[in-house]
Amino acid sequence: MQPRVKLGLLQRTYIPEVLIGLIITARHFFVNLRNHTLRLMGSRSVQPGAVTIQYPEERRPLSPRLRSLHRLTKREDGAPRCVACLMCETVCPARCIYIVPKENPDPHIEKMPARFDIDLGRCVFCGFCVEACPEDAIRMDTGILQFSASSRKDMIYTMDQLLAHKPASSQ
Amino acid sequence: MPTLTIDGIEVTVPDKTNLIEAAKMVGAEIPHYCYHPGLSVAGNCRMCLVEIEKAPKLAIGCFTPCQEGMVVHTSTEKVLQARKDVLEFLLINHPLDCPVCDQAGECWLQIYYMKHGQYESRMMEDKIKKHKKATAIGPTVTLDQERCILCARCVRFCDEISKTSELGIFNRGNHAELDVFPGKELNNKYSGNVVDICPVGALTDRDFRFQCRVWYLDTQDSICPGCSRGCNIQVHYNLDRPHHAEGRRVLRLKPRFNPEVNKYWICDEGRYGYKFIDDESRILMPQVMRNGGMEFVSWDEALKASAEKIKASIPEELGVLASPQLTNEELYLIRKLFVEELGATQVEFRVPPKEEGYSDDYLVKADKNPNTKGAEEIGLAVGSAEEILKAAAEKKLSALVIFVHNLVNSGLDDSLVKAALEGVETLIFIGSNFSDTSEKANVILPSATYAEKSGTFANSEGRVQRIHEAVPPLGESLPEWQILNELARALGLDWDYQGTEHIFAELAKDVPAFANLTYEILGDQGQTLGYVPPAEEEALVEHGELEAVRAT
Amino acid sequence: MWVDIGITVFNVLVAGLFVLSLAGLLTWVERKQSAVMQDRIGANRADLFGWDPKLLRPIRRLGLFHPIADGLKMFLKEDYIPPEANKLLFSLAPFLSLFCGLIAFAVIPFCDKFQVWGKTVSVQVASLDIGVLYIFAALSMGIYGVFLAGYTSKNNWAYLGALRASALMLSSEIAIGVSIIGVVMLYGSMEIGDIVRAQQAGPHDLLFGFLPKWGIVMQPLGFLLFLTAGIAATKRIPFDMPEGESEIIGYFVEYSGMKFGMFMMTDFVETIVVAGLTAALFLGGWHIPYFYPAHTGGWITVLQVLVFMLKVCFLCWFMVLVRWTLPRFRYDQAMRLGWMGLFPLAIANIVVTGIMIVMSNG
C-alpha cells in the first residue's frame, strides 16, 4: 500500500487545490463553449465541443466478437440443431436458460428441445452457453443490442423467437 | 486368511477375496467395468489389470484371488499404460453422444477416461454403427447397442439374479452386440437393476429417459415403502430446476447396498413406486366439511375442528385405523395419544388387501406395507378393522380417524365399508393422497409421504431402518408425527416433540422390542429388534443368558 | 396607500419571478453546464411530442424543452405518500422547505433607493433593519422542512438523511452567521441595502486608491467562509450528505411527483439566495465599479437591477462549477470542516476585523 501523503498546511486548507480544479473545469467549459458556438455557426475546422456519440443516429461498428442477443442455429431441414443436452443450462451462471427435452423422431439424434427459453431479464451475457454447446446450436452473434419488454414475462424468449434470429453478418 | 501387500500396505483378507476387493480395503481403487461384487466374475473388460511381483504379465484384479505373500502394485507406470490402452480399445467404437446420453455424469467411461485415459485419439476409421440405437427392449429399459462395451454385467444379472435369461451377447468380434433373445423382451420383476449395473449408457431407464440430467439430482438415503422387505434405497430428487419432469421433485429411486436386506438390488415394483409423491392426487391443504361441502382451511382451524370432534366422543365411541405405512415414531404417538391419553379401545392398523400381493423367494414380499412388524410390536393391533367398521356402520362410533388407508379398495366387504364411512358422524382422514376414502371424510389433514419425513420402518425380519426427509412436504402437508403432536396440543395436552429422534428415544424406552436402539445404532444399515449392545452381549454370553434374552 | 401596495406587489413579483424563473433555468444550466464542462453535449432530446419544426429546432438542440418536460413529469407522476407516514407533516415538509428558501430573498435589494411619485422606493420586498438576522432566520427555518421530510417518511434512509441534514445545517448556518458579522461590523448596519450602499463609497474613498470597498476586498476571509458555508447550506455537492445519491438517497427518498420537485426546486432557490446574498454582501450588490451616478431612478436603476442580476447569475454559474468540479465530502469530513475549520476561522475573522476597525478609528 502506498503510504499516505502528508499534506502541508496550504493543501489542508483545500483552497489552492480547489482553485486548480475549478480552473481546469472552467477552461473545459469555455473552450468547449467556444467550439460548440463556432460549429453551430457553421465552422467545420474547429474540434467538436463534445466527444460523445449521439446514439440512435450515430452508431459505432460492432466488434465481430461482441456478445449480443442469442440465436439458435438450425439444421439443413430447419429443425433446431439443439439436442437438449442441457450443457448451457448447466453452465449458465444466471440460470436463465430453461430447456425441456423430448424425443427426436430421428433415432440417431435422439433428443431435441420441446421448450428452449432464455430469460433475458436474468441473462448476464457471459457467453458461457455458446462456449459449452457441443453442437454449435446457440450463438450470440445477432448484433441485436436493443430489446426490451413491458413485462418480465415478455423478456423470456422462446425457442421460436430464438430460431428466428439471424446472424448480424447476414444483414 | 491370506496376508498380502498391496501398494506397500500389508492386509489380511478372508479366503477367496479377489484383488479388487482387497485393494478397496487398503484404499486403493482398481478401475473395472465387467466386475460387479453382486455377480459372478467374467473377466472380459481387462480394465482391472494390476502388476503382481514375480508374475510374468499383468493380471486382472477381479479374477485373481488373494494369496499368501502376494505383492501387488495397482498404479505402476505399466498398469497405468495398460489401463489407458484398454480404455482406448473400449472407446474405439463408442459414439460421442454424451450430450444426449442419460448416463452422462454417472458413466464409468467418462469417469475413467478423465482419471486414467486422457489420450489423443488415434482412430482414423469411421466408428461402427450397430443395429439398435435407443430401442426399448422391455417395459423399463432402453438399449443402445453402440454405447455397449460388452461387459455382460446385465447378461449375468439376468442369468444369476433374476434367473430369467432374456439377454445375451450375439455375434463375434466387431459384430458382437448385446440384445434380447429373439421373441423375448426384458420384462422380469427386477429388470430395472440392469440399468444400475450398466457402467455405460447402453441400458438406460425408460422411466427416467430425458427427465433430468443426473448432475441436477440430489440424493437422500431412505427405505422402500413398497413391501415389508424394507429394501435400502436412495431417493434422487431435483428441487432447484422445477421446469424439468413437469415439476416432479422425486425423479428416481436407486438401490442402496445393504448385505442384510437387499444386497445391490431392488424390484421394479419398488423402483417405480415413487410416483405418488408428486402426483396430482396429493392433498395440499387441510379441509373441513362446512355447510355440506369441503372447504380449505388453515391448519389451526382444521386441528381445532378435529380436536372438538374427538373431545366430544367418549373413548368407546372413538375408532382409530392406524396404518403400517406409518413410521414407528408415528405409530407410537398414535398409541400414546389415542390409547393412553384418550383411552380409545377401537384401535387397529391391519386392513386386509383386496388380493394377495405378488411375492417371490428373492426380495418381493406379499405384505405391501413397510412397517407391519413395527406396528405389531408397538401394540396397535387391539381389535380388528372389521369390528371397528361394524361398530361404525351400527352408528356406535361418533368419530373415526383413518390414517392413509383406502378402505374402499381393500379386502374388506365393500358394503360394510360404505355403511361404516357413511354411518360414522365424524370421519377424520389423515393421508397424503386423495382416495375414495378421503372423499367421504369430514376432516382431511394432509400428511407427508415417506420421502418428505424422517423416521424408522421395521421390516418383516424385524430390522429397524431409518428413512430421511429428501424433499420438503408438498403444499401445506406435514409429517404425521407433527400432525399428531399438534392435534395433541389442540386437545389440551402438553406435547412438544421437536423431531423424530426425540420420539424414537421415548419409543425405545417404552416398547421392549425397541430397547437399546437409537438412531446412531441404526446408522444407515439398520439394526434388528431386540438388539443387545456388544458390551452387554459379552456379559450375557459369560452368564449363558443370551439365548434367554433373545427369546424375549 | 394604493401606490404603496402597488409598489410592494411589483417588488414581490419581480423578486419572486426572478428567483423562480432562475431556479427553473438553473435545472437547464446545471445539465448543460456540466455537459460542456465534461466534453459532453447534454440533454437535447425533449421535443413537443415529436413535433419538431425547423424554427424550434435550436431550442430542442439546446435542451430548453427539458425544464418543461421535467415540470410536466413532476406534475403527472403519482403523488405517493407512504402508508406509515404522517400525512400532514409529510405533505407540509416540501412547502416549508421551499417557502423558507423563497422568503429569504425578500430583504435583498435589486437596486438603490430612488424617487417615484414622491416616494422613496427600491426594488426590494422588505427593507428590514434587521435584514441580516431575518436571513439567518429564514435559512435556519429551512431545516424544518428537510427534517420533517426525513422524520415523517418512516424510512430509515430518509431518517438518516434528515439527521445528516440537521447536523450539516447547524454547522453551516453558524459559520454563515459568524462570517457575516465581520461584514456587519465593517459597514455598521444590518439592513442589506445599507450594507450595499456602504460598499459603494465614493471615488475618493477607494482602498489603496484603486479598489472599491466591496466585501470581498475588505473581508476576503469572510467571503471565502461565507461562500463555503453557503454552498453547504444548499445541501448540494460537495456537501450533499443529506442526499448522498450513491448511498442513502436522503431525506426525500419517499417523495415523488411535485413534492419531490419542490425539494429539488428548494436546492436551486437556496443556491440563488446564497448567490444573491453573496452578491449583496460581498460583491457590492447593484454597484458598478468606478461608476458613480449622481442620481438614481430611470435608466440608472434599470442598469443597477441588471448588474445585480448579472452578479447573481455569475455566482450561480460559479456554484454550479463548484458542484461539478469537487467530489463530495464524507460526513465526518464535512462536520470537521464546519466545526473545526469554518467556525473558528469566522471567529478569528471577527476578532481581526474588530482590531482593524479599532486601529483605523484610533
pLDDT tens per residue, chain B (552 residues)? Answer: 899 999 999 999 999 999 999 999 999 999 999 999 999 999 999 999 999 999 999 999 999 999 999 999 999 999 999 999 999 999 998 998 899 999 999 999 999 999 998 888 888 888 888 887 889 999 999 999 999 999 999 999 999 999 999 999 999 888 899 999 999 999 999 999 999 999 999 999 999 999 999 999 999 999 999 999 999 999 999 999 999 999 999 999 999 999 999 999 999 999 999 999 999 999 999 999 988 889 999 999 999 999 999 988 888 889 999 999 999 999 999 999 999 999 888 899 989 888 888 999 999 999 999 999 999 999 887 778 888 899 888 888 899 999 999 988 888 888 999 999 988 989 999 999 999 999 989 999 999 999 999 999 999 999 999 999 999 999 999 999 999 999 999 999 999 999 999 999 999 999 999 999 999 999 999 999 988 888 777 777 766 666 665 555
Asked if residue A56 is part of any domain, the answer here is no
Asked if residue C150 is part of any domain, the answer here is yes
Residue A90 and residue A42 share a domain: no
Which among B224, B197, B227 has a CA at the least distance from the CA of B106?
Answer: B197
Task: Give the DSSP H or E segment for B73.
Answer: strand B71-73
Q: How far is C135 from chain A (nearest CA, A)?
A: 27
Phi first, then psi: what are they for C233, rounded to 5°? -65, -25
Task: Give the DSSP H or E segment for C307.
Answer: helix C299-323
Containing structural domain, residue C92:
85-361
CA separation for the pair B74, B23 (Å, rounded): 8
Tell me the average pLDDT across C185-197: 89
Which residue is closest to B104 within chain A, CA to CA? A85
Question: What is the b/e burial string over B247-276, where b = at least 16 CB atoms within 10 angstroms of the residue's CB?
Answer: ebbbbbbbbbebeebbbbbbbbbbbbbbee
Is the pLDDT score of C200 beyond 90?
no
C-alpha atoms less than 13 angstroms from C-alpha of C343 in its C-beta half-sphere? 14
Which residue is closest to B143 within chain A, CA to CA? A107
Asked if residue C210 is part of any domain, the answer here is yes
B290: helix, strand or coil: strand
Question: How many C-beta neighbours within 10 Å does residue B482 have?
Answer: 20
Long-range contacts of C196-199 (CB under 8 A, 24+ apart): C196/C109, C196/C112, C196/C280, C196/C284, C196/C285, C196/C286, C196/C287, C197/C112, C199/C284, C199/C285, C199/C287
Q: How far is A114 from chain B (nearest CA, A)?
A: 11
What is chain B's Cα-based Rg?
Answer: 28
**Quick one: pLDDT at residue B85?**
94
Asked if residue A15 is part of any domain, the answer here is yes
DSSP, residue by residue, C184-231: HHHHT-SSHHHHHHHHT--GGG-BTTTB---HHHH-HHHHHHHHHHHH
CA separation for the pair A134, B398 (Å, rounded): 67
Asked if residue A61 is part of any domain, the answer here is no
Residue A86 and residue A43 share a domain: no
Interface of A with C in 26-45 (CB under 8 A): 26, 28-29, 32-33, 36
Residue A89 and residue A134 share a domain: yes
Q: In total, how many domains does chain C have?
A: 1
Pick from A100, A110, A115: CB nearest B100: A110
CA separation for the pair B336, B380 (Å, rounded): 10
Angle made by CA atoms A95, A97, A99, in degrees to the nearest 5:
130
CA separation for the pair C98, C270 (Å, rounded): 9
Residue A165 and residue A109 share a domain: yes
- Chain A: partners with 3+ C-beta pairs within 8 Å: B, C
Is the pLDDT score of A171 beyond 70?
no
Asked if residue C58 is part of any domain, the answer here is no
CA separation for the pair C273, C279 (Å, rounded): 10
Strand-pairing partners, residue B296, are: B287
A-interface mutation test, from C317, C325, C326, C337, most A Cβ less than 10 A away: C325
Q: In total, how many domains does chain A have?
A: 2
Residue A165 and residue A129 share a domain: yes
Counting CB pairs under 8 A, whether chains C and B reach 3 or more, is no
> What sign results for the dihedral spanned by CA atoms C340, C342, C348, C350?
negative
Asked if residue A63 is part of any domain, the answer here is no
Which domains, from first to last, does chain B contain?
Answer: 3-91 (3.10.20.740), 98-205 (3.30.70.20), 287-504 (3.40.50.740)
Which among A68, A122, A114 has a CA at the least distance from the CA of A96?
Answer: A122
B67: helix, strand or coil: coil
Asked if residue C203 is part of any domain, the answer here is yes
Strands, E, within B137-274: which ranges? 141-143, 167-170, 177-180, 203-205, 218-223, 232-237, 250-255
**Quick one: pLDDT at residue C362?**
64
**Quick one: pLDDT at residue B202?**
95
Asked if residue C333 is part of any domain, the answer here is yes
Contact B19/B7 with Cβ under 8 angstroms? no
Contact C102/C269 with Cβ under 8 angstroms? yes
**Quick one: pLDDT at residue C289?**
82
Residue C232 CB contacts under 8 Å (≥ 6 apart), including other chains: C168, C171, C172, C175, C239, C334, C338
CA separation for the pair B320, B315 (Å, rounded): 11
Q: Confirm or reject contact between C357 and chain A (CB < 8 A).
A: no
Phi-psi category of residue A104: left, alpha or beta, with phi > 0 → left and psi -120 to 50 → alpha: beta
Residue A46 and residue A2 share a domain: yes
Contact C273/C105 with Cβ under 8 angstroms? yes
- All residues of chain A having their beta carbon less than 8 Å from the beta carbon of residue C39 are 28, 32, 49-52
Residue A78 and residue A32 share a domain: no
C22: helix, strand or coil: helix
Question: How many C-beta neighbours within 10 Å does residue C3 have?
Answer: 12
Asked if residue A119 is part of any domain, the answer here is yes
B143: helix, strand or coil: strand
Question: What is the b/e burial string over C80-90, where b = at least 16 CB atoms within 10 angstroms of the residue's CB?
Answer: ebbeebbeeeb
Q: Confirm or reject contact between A89 and chain B (CB < 8 A).
A: yes
CA dihedral B480, B481, B482, B487 (to 10 degrees): 90
**Quick one: pLDDT at residue C225?**
92
Give residue-wise pLDDT tens across range C60-119: 888 888 888 888 898 999 988 888 888 899 999 999 999 988 898 889 999 888 887 778
Residue A86 and residue A35 share a domain: no
Residue A99 and residue A38 share a domain: no
- The CATH number assigned to the domain holding A166 equals 3.30.70.3270
Contact C135/C124 with Cβ under 8 angstroms? no
Asked if residue A96 is part of any domain, the answer here is yes
- All residues of chain B having their beta carbon less than 8 Å from the beta carbon of residue A110 are 97, 100, 133-134
Containing structural domain, residue A47:
1-51
**Quick one: pLDDT at residue A155?**
94
Residue A79 and residue A45 share a domain: no
Q: Which three cell numbers stand for residue C274?
A: 446564497
Q: Which three cell numbers stand for residue B135?
A: 430401442
Asked if residue C34 is part of any domain, the answer here is no
Give residue-wise pLDDT tens across range B149-175: 999 999 999 999 999 999 999 998 888
**Quick one: pLDDT at residue B381?**
76
